[in-house]
Amino acid sequence: MIDTAQSTNTDRAHSRGPAPDAGAMTTVHSSMASLYARRFLRHRFAAAGLVVLLVVILSALLAPVITQDPNALSASDRKAQPSSEHWLGTDEAGRDILARTIHGGRISLAVGITATGIALALGTLIGAISGYFGGIADAALMRLTDAFLCFPQLFVLIVFGTLIRTTDLRVLQGSMTPIAIIIGLLSWMGLARIVRATFLGLREQDYVDAARSVGAGNARIMFRHILPGAVGPIVVQATLLIAATIITESGLSYLGFGVQPPTSSWGNLLEGAKPFLQTLPVYAIAPGMMIFLTVMSINFVGDGLRDALDPHSQR
């Protein structure tokens, strides 16, 4: 009888096959990563957008190394045409337009990334709590979301920009931090609704019940088991938020309520170019093209990520 039992257990062990090891799990993860990469690169516009975006980001990061001082004045080079020394010419104060455009990208990209990070943190947390717990928590947080949706973002930013310029807060007028914080605090609502909808569907899955049955706490279930399933929609929404934030900051600076000169951003460069549209058109074309290329590239990358991370996409 003992031999029969041992033989039965051995047969069951062989039928289950060998236990997965760490190397096999690593292979699975690498194969999934390569699958996502192939899906992304299959989207040609997304691949091209990623290349353009990387060039913009690298040029912004290396701006102090690859360009001259963007605030260096030269009375003898005022409104100079493009040349070997100044590839895009100079502005009315003799400052290099290319240097100011590249340095302006540092501000615009920093505002977009900072504001998106704030919106991601708030939207993910509020959406996760609302979708996981439901009930009173869901109702209260969704009403809070509806209340924030009623705030006119541009008007709030204009009022805040006016306060910075006309009160003791004017010491912050050359900083992008307050603008980024306000934009982030007013941009999380759409993401919160997306995360909530995803959590409502995933919390009913069998693996969530299994995690709860073995004693996993709510926080572990939310952020260890459910949140990875919502990464796809969150990443796609993040790319759209970055693009929208760059446009918002540029529009605000163009109106004179954002980052103030002499600190350059793409928006205030466009505002400073208004009197010279006929005599020095490159002054406006350079920052305008940078805004266009950056936002378009981010949108293409977002489209590629959406296709790559779609679980219903064919292999």
- 115 assigned to some structural domain: yes
What's the average model confidence in pLDDT over 125-140?
Answer: 92
pLDDT of residue 25: 44
- 295 assigned to some structural domain: yes
- 23 assigned to some structural domain: no
Per-residue pLDDT of 246-289, as tens digits, reads 999 898 888 888 887 778 889 989 988 888 888 888 888 999 99
Range of the domain at 127: 94-315
Length of the chain: 315
- 89 assigned to some structural domain: no
- 209 assigned to some structural domain: yes
- 191 assigned to some structural domain: yes
| CATH number of the domain bearing residue 216 | 1.10.3720.10
What's the average model confidence in pLDDT over 124-148?
Answer: 92
pLDDT of residue 311: 58
Per-residue pLDDT of 20-56, as tens digits, reads 454 544 555 567 778 778 888 888 899 999 999 999 9
- 80 assigned to some structural domain: no
Distance of CA 61 to the CA centre of its chain: 17
**What's the pTM?**
0.81
What total number of domains does the chain contain?
A: 1
- 180 assigned to some structural domain: yes
Q: Cβ distance 223 to 195 under 8 Å?
A: no
